[in-house]
Amino acid sequence: MQPFEVFIPIVAMLASAAVLISFFYLSHRNKKAIQDTIRHSIDQGNPLTPEILEKLGTNHSPRIKDLRRGIVLAALGLAFMLAGLIVNDPDGTVGMMVSGMFPLMVGLGFLLVWKLNRYND
C-alpha cells in the first residue's frame, strides 16, 4: 500500500462535506437576505402584496424540483455505474457499481414522486 493511498478517501469525504456545507450555508444566507428585505419593507411602511412576496421567494414548483432532482440523481448514478464498467480493476468495478446504486435509486424515487403526486400549480 502506497503512503498516499490513504489520503484519497479522506480527500473525497472532505470534498463532499465541503460541497454540502457550502450548499446549506448559501441557501441559509439567501433565505436570510429575503427575510431582511421583507422586514425592511415592512419597517418603511410599504404594503406587501402576494406578487411581491412571490417574486422575492422565487420558489419553483415542487413538481419541477422533483423532476429536476430525479433526473440529475439518476444520471449521476448511471454515470457511476458506467464508470465502474470502464475500470479494469474488479474491486474498482464493484465499488463504482455499488456507489452508483444509491443516487440512481434516490433519483428514481424522485421521478416516481413526480409521476404519482397531484400538484396544484
Q: Is the pLDDT of residue 26 over 90?
A: yes
Q: Phi/psi at 54 (nearest 5 deg)?
A: -65, -40
In this structure, of 15-24, 46-55, 111-120, the range with the lowest mean pLDDT score is: 46-55
CA angle 9–105–119, rounded 5-degree value: 130
Contact 37, 57 (CB under 8 A): no
Distance separating alpha carbons of residues 93 and 84, to the nearest angstrom = 4
The conformation of residue 4, written as its DSSP 8-state character, comes to T
**Tens digit of each residue's pLDDT (9 = 90 or more) over 60-90:** 677 788 888 899 999 999 998 888 888 888 7
Q: What is the pLDDT of residue 6?
A: 76
Over residues 102-115, the mean pLDDT reads: 91
The pTM assigned to this predicted structure is 0.57
**DSSP state at residue 5:** T
